Amino acid sequence: MKQTKHKLIEINSISSIPEYLINTPVGDLIKYQNCKSTPKTYEKAELVIVMCMDNRKQLTIPGKFAYILRTAGGRITGNEFKLSFAIGFGDVRYVAIIGHTNCGMVNLTSKKDKFIQGLMENAGWDKETAENHFNSFAPFFEIEDETNFVSTESKRLKEKYPKIEFVPFIYKVEDNKLYLVE
């Protein structure tokens, strides 16, 4: 696994939220998840949250606060229309890109045998079909490092949507907190 080159910033109090995020939906996300702030009532989404589909990650957010796009590894390449809808139709200006520790998409090729066996046993697929499926999609979804991925993905999306603020995070499954990626 490649060594991450990005620093994680721990935020455990409202006063430690970076100034540029205060009074933004991203700042509110941090307040709800890490500081257990009492939620406000929302009439419409103010944020898009892009995150992995992993069931170990549960965000503490109020209803109607955010559009949530969950995909393997948090990769939305090929699914940008969903993000565009939230921006164009929902008037959202902030996006949190959330990766997490111990992501199954990291070093995915090492999980090939289990993946294929699971499709054979659980879905009734034959080995060749399961293997072809893995070989077709695994290279697209595999990520080398969670932190580098969310940073790179945030930069890629910022180029595509220059007026939108993209903020990368890592969710540590060990403590259920969000860490800002510097």
Give percent of the chain above pLDDT 70: 98
pLDDT of residue 1: 42
* Lowest mean per-residue pLDDT among 14-18, 73-77, 87-91: 73-77
pLDDT of residue 53: 92
Pair of tokens at residue 172: 């540590």
pLDDT of residue 171: 97
pLDDT tens-digit series, residues 105-117: 999 999 999 999 9
Residue 133 to residue 131: CA distance in whole angstroms: 5
This prediction's pTM? 0.91
Average pLDDT, the chain: 94
pLDDT tens-digit series, residues 26-73: 999 999 999 999 999 999 999 999 999 999 888 999 999 999 999 998
| Residue 59: half-sphere exposure toward Cβ, Cα within 13 Å | 31
Q: Residue 171: CB partners within 8 Å, gap ≥ 6?
A: 51, 57, 98, 99, 100, 101, 177, 178, 179
Q: How confident is the model at residue 3 (pLDDT cuts 50, 70, 90)?
A: low
The domain segmentation of the chain, as residue ranges, is 8-106+144-181, 107-142
pLDDT tens-digit series, residues 126-159: 999 999 999 999 999 999 999 999 999 999 999 9
Strands across the sheet with 8-10, in order? 8-10, 177-181, 165-172, 94-100, 47-52, 66-71
CATH number of 8-106+144-181: 3.40.1050.10
Does residue 5 carry a pLDDT above 80? Answer: no
pLDDT tens-digit series, residues 13-27: 999 999 999 999 999
